[in-house]
Amino acid sequence: MDRVARDPSAGLCAQCRHRQEVRNTRGSTFLLCRRSRAQPERYPKYPRLPVTRCEGFVPEPAATDHP
């Protein structure tokens, strides 16, 4: 599964609907910010984790189902 993307040590990205898990050919997993496609000047493609503050953060629906 997406251990990196869901890992609490990823900070906000772990619960953000804009994250995407990317796996390379060697099996390493990276967290990609999909907001970087439209606004690369504001959002790095591969954010330095943990992300503790982010204006683009939008919680996933599942994250808000369990207050």
Q: Which is nearer to ligand SF4, 1 or 51 (CB)?
A: 51
| Window of 13-21, 22-30, 59-67 that interacts with ligand SF4 by CB under 6 A | 13-21
Q: Which is nearer to ligand SF4, 26 or 53 (CB)?
A: 53
Q: State yes or no: residue 4 binds ligand SF4 (CB under 6 A).
A: no
Q: Which of 25, 54, 59, 66 binds ligand SF4 (CB under 6 A)?
A: 54
Please state, in angstroms and rounded to a whole number, the distance separating the CA atoms of residues 33 and 13: 8
Residues listed for the chain: 67
